[in-house]
Chains A and B, each alone.
Chain A
Amino acid sequence: MKTLYDKLWEEHHVTRLDSGESLLYIDRHYLHEVTSPQAFEGLTKKNLKPWRLDANIATPDHNVPTTRGSNFRSEQIEDEISKIQVVELDKNCNKFGIKQFDIQSTHQGIVHVIGPELGYTLPGMTIVCGDSHTSTHGALGCLAMGIGTSEVEHVLATQCLKVSKLKNMNVKFEGEVGEHVSSKDIVLYLIRQIGTAGGTGYAIEFSGSYISSISVEGRMTICNMAIEAGAKVGLIAPDEKTIDYVKSNSFLDQDVFNKAEEYWKTLKSDDDAKFDKEIIIDVSKIKPQVTWGTSPEMVMNYDEPIPTVFDTNDDNKKNVELARDYMGINNESKLSDLTFDKVFIGSCTNSRIEDLRQAAEIVKGKTVASNISEAIVVPGSGLVKEQAENEGLDKIFTDAGFVWRDPGCSMCLGMNPDQLKPYERCASTSNRNFEGRQGYLGRTHLMSPIMAAFTAINGTIGDPS
């Protein structure tokens, strides 16, 4: 009768408050430099300490420059205000005794990349972070969600989150995908179907034969973008692949791991579980997806005509007009008519080893097109970078004219030096094509690593086969 979300909810339910809300016990809390300083300040003002130190793991990612090289210290960040924020995280972690993979650590990286790969994200955990893409960790069968800074303070102080239960949605992806179609295309396709508010108020469980067939990395891409469909929680029941993944990154003793594994195998929705909403999607006909507008729901097949106000219903006309205007789409009828300036392969959505392998496959032996002024590849973590270099992927990229960078959020958002200039058009593997997201007046087209790599070589959108 119960869904996976129901089970995780009950497992962590401490008590129901007079208000009707519940206190949910939080197993793991990730912190980064942007949404934590005010929370630490609040803690200090109340004269409190973190409830349970070992629940917390911190790393700087949003502000860090990706051209820093090794032995770079926080104090060397050129942007004075970014520097203050990163140094503040160093200070707070030292002051409170929180484990941090700091800017010099070989394990530093995007918080949602390092958590799973360092074995801190385990199936069945409740996980929060002051970042909406915390839903990523749901791919390992966690109840994971993004929270605001007030809640960061609350979790530090009480090890609990005060929440009301979400509704249950099941999205079943069935079938096999075609060539050059990846999990990014599948999740973008879903967002087109249900819209960016389609999952509001829900925890979405992703299931079906397609989900079983893909890697844990691919599943992370899907759960990562649940929030782009409006759902702050996305999750996938753990299976053998999940357990193998966890085992390969685990620092647990064998006997503890074995006990855990027994429990993890019970983490799935019952066959007769009741979902408030169910969606079934046949993935076999999905083509590579690319966004054309300023919301992730403004997405289509890479070769489809770009919507105009004439083929849009009245409700949406204004949105389409504003988006076309911002994106600098005038007489162009297809994405292949647009000229691209930059390519970004990275972000918590698509900076894992599998993403880089897929992109490298396309790039191998080719050269970045002359109209692309900069194509950058930003591995999600120090470990991903090292692994990619061991496989020679960095060489494939740099030989083709890409720039190989140090880990961080990079061009996903305009907080560090990697930004678009006004009106530049970017093929990006990130998660948000909002106005100004990648830099003031910048134009973002979201797509998979395969499509971004192909766009770098081809100079514009096209058929990667």
Chain B
Amino acid sequence: MKSNSEGLIIDGIVAFIDRDNIDTDQIIPTEYLKSIRKFGFEDYLFDGWRYKDDGRLGTTKEERDIDESFILNKEPFNESKILLVRDNFGCGSSREHAVWALRDFGIKAVIASSFGDIFYNNSFKNGVLPIKLSKSEIEFLFNQTQKKVLELTINIQNKEINYGDKNISFHVEKHLVDRIIYGLDDVDITLKEKNKIFDFEKIRIKERPWIFK
């Protein structure tokens, strides 16, 4: 991500997967959840679709039987920063590893008509921007991908996607965007309210003692 006078910009090639309901098991299969680290998931993103063989945690891309027809294995899409999909992306399991895999691969934004709630929340905590557009806007972008390699410029601060002379605006709550722009840490923010939490807890211990047994 680079910063310029207009605010934060994501610009890059759009990889697209024309499917609804891409669940987090597809984004990263359970095998790779055995890792106890927060990084190093790039080779396992969309593992079931990206390779023709069954992978194990620790094996690298080079050791695998690559499915050349899958979009992220094709040039120039292997360098994509933006992913375009359909409806309900990231449904299913709460695994944050799904976002880590997208992030590690280099995906900075995912454009869909809707997202699973937990995935949506996890994204902002890891610098991946989920963008919700209408179904007709998604359709428009899919149509463009059929004409040529689609490149988009996403202006995070203005909440706008620029494509040629066309602008598509999107809605995202300010506090969520701020998390991406400033890389805010939630624990630090919350601990500023430490005293309020202590006070709340004190009353609760008195009123609802069974919780604290």
Q: Are B30 and A159 in contact (CB under 8 A)?
A: no
Q: Which of A102-110, A175-183, A251-259, A331-339 contacts B (4 or more CB under 8 A)?
A: A251-259
CA distance A42 to B194 in the complex (A): 18
A 144-175 binary contact with B (CB < 8 Å = 1; else 0) = 00111111011001111010100000000000
Number of interface residues of B (CB under 8 A): 62
Report A428 CB to chain B, min CB distance, Å.
Answer: 14
CA distance A446 to B121 in the complex (A): 28
* Chain A residues whose CB sits within 8 angstroms of the CB of B200 once the complex forms: 14-15, 25
B147 interface residue (CB < 8 Å to A): no
Asked, given contacts A197-B114, A414-B30, whether A35 binds B25 with beta carbons under 8 Å apart, the answer is no
A279 interface residue (CB < 8 Å to B): no
B118 interface residue (CB < 8 Å to A): yes
A48's closest neighbor in chain B, by CB? B187
B211 interface residue (CB < 8 Å to A): yes
Q: Are B191 and A432 in contact (CB under 8 A)?
A: no
Q: Are B213 and A434 in contact (CB under 8 A)?
A: no
Which chain B residues numbered 112 to 147 have a C-beta less than 8 Å away from chain A?
A: 114-118, 121-122, 125-126
Q: Are A131 and B213 in contact (CB under 8 A)?
A: no
* Chain B residues whose CB sits within 8 angstroms of the CB of A146 once the complex forms: 94, 118
Q: Are A200 and B210 in contact (CB under 8 A)?
A: no
> A38: which of B19, B37, B178, B213 is its contact (CB, 8 Å)?
B37
Which chain B residues numbered 69 to 92 have a C-beta less than 8 Å away from chain A?
A: 87-88, 91-92
Report A130 CB to chain B, min CB distance, Å.
Answer: 6
* Chain A residues whose CB sits within 8 angstroms of the CB of B204 once the complex forms: 25
A 118-133 binary contact with B (CB < 8 Å = 1; else 0) = 0000101100001110
Interface of A: prevailing SS: loop
A435 interface residue (CB < 8 Å to B): yes
A27 interface residue (CB < 8 Å to B): yes
* Chain B residues whose CB sits within 8 angstroms of the CB of A316 once the complex forms: 20
Q: Are B197 and A158 in contact (CB under 8 A)?
A: yes
* Chain B residues whose CB sits within 8 angstroms of the CB of A131 once the complex forms: 93-94
Which chain B residues numbered 163 to 208 have a C-beta less than 8 Å away from chain A?
A: 173-175, 178, 186-187, 189-191, 193-194, 196-197, 200-201, 204, 208
Q: Which of A77-85, A299-307, A350-358, A457-465 contacts B (4 or more CB under 8 A)?
A: A77-85
Which chain A residues numbered 225 to 260 have a C-beta less than 8 Å away from chain B?
A: 227-228, 230-232, 251-252, 256-257, 259-260
Q: Are A196 and B30 in contact (CB under 8 A)?
A: no
CA distance A95 to B122 in the complex (A): 27
A365 interface residue (CB < 8 Å to B): no
Most B Cβ at <10 Å: residue of A149, A251, A263, A441? A149
* Chain B residues whose CB sits within 8 angstroms of the CB of A297 once the complex forms: 21
* Chain A residues whose CB sits within 8 angstroms of the CB of B194 once the complex forms: 158
Chain A to chain B contacts (Cβ below 8 Å), 18 pairs: A17-B189, A19-B175, A27-B211, A34-B34, A35-B95, A48-B187, A130-B96, A148-B95, A148-B125, A150-B125, A151-B125, A197-B88, A197-B114, A252-B210, A318-B18, A415-B33, A432-B25, A434-B26
Besides A48-B187, A148-B118, A158-B190, 15 more A-B contacts (Cβ < 8 Å) are A17-B175, A23-B197, A38-B37, A125-B211, A132-B118, A147-B118, A150-B96, A150-B125, A151-B125, A162-B190, A200-B114, A231-B117, A436-B25, A437-B25, A440-B29
